């Protein structure tokens, strides 16, 4: 199984290299520079924002007397929110700078991002309520070892 996986990943990597070899020269120098800037910003966002926020969230939540499922739920909500926020950066920047064609970014991306964060927070809150409810319910049940009177 591991050998088949390695072979499949090797074939996938070669296919990616083949696509890159045909697409990258077509970008031209300006396109390659823009791609390089995009990749550099992605690395900075990942290493400078995403990882520290997730590490801090995990470290703070790990010190609280809460179940691990609640910690994972909060971390998942933060992670999804940060990733969607990172994906919203290009349309937000395009809107701010004024697109050459207004139909390129027809929505209010900042309001949409705020609405997304509100829904994300609400879903995490509902999940935390469900976790708390299940914990109370399981602790209220008499144990199988406890004899009933």
CA–CA separation, 61 and 71 (whole Å): 6
Would 3 be classed as within a structural domain? no
The proportion of the chain whose per-residue pLDDT surpasses 90, expressed as a percent, equals 38
pTM here is 0.67
Query: Would you say how long the chain is, in residues?
Result: 149
Q: Please give the residue that has the higher pLDDT: either 58 or 145.
A: 58
Please indicate, yes or no, if residue 74 is contained in any of the structural domains.
yes
Decide if 38 is inside a domain. Answer: no
Query: Mind listing the pLDDT tens digit for each residue in 2-33?
Result: 899 999 999 999 999 999 999 888 888 988 89
Looking at the domain assignment, is residue 15 inside a domain? no
Residues 58, 75 contacting (CB under 8 angstroms): yes
What is the C-alpha separation between 87 and 45, in angstroms, rounded?
11
Is the confidence at residue 75, as pLDDT, over 70? yes
Q: Which domain holds residue 120?
A: 64-145
Residue with the bigger pLDDT between 143 and 57: it is: 57
For the chain, what is the domain count? 1
* Residue 77 lies inside a defined structural domain of this protein: yes
Buried b (16+ CB within 10 A) or exposed e, 26-65: eeeeeeeeeeeeeeeeeeebeeeebeeeeeebeeebeeee
pLDDT of residue 119: 97
């Amino acid at each position: 199984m591991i050998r088949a996986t390695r072979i499949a990943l090797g074939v996938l990597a070669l296919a990616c290299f083949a696509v890159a070899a045909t697409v990258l020269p077509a970008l031209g120098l300006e396109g390659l520079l823009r791609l390089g800037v995009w990749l550099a910003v992605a690395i900075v966002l990942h290493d400078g924002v995403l990882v520290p926020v997730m590490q801090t969230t995990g470290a703070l939540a790990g010190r609280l007397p809460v179940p691990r499922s609640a910690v994972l739920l909060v971390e998942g909500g933060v992670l999804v929110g940060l990733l969607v926020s990172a994906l919203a950066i290009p349309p937000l920047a395009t809107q701010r700078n004024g697109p050459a064609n207004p139909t390129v970014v027809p929505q209010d991306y900042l309001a949409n991002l705020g609405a997304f964060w509100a829904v994300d927070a609400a879903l995490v809150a509902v999940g935390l309520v469900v976790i708390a409810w299940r914990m109370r319910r399981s602790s209220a049940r008499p144990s199988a070892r406890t004899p009933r009177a």
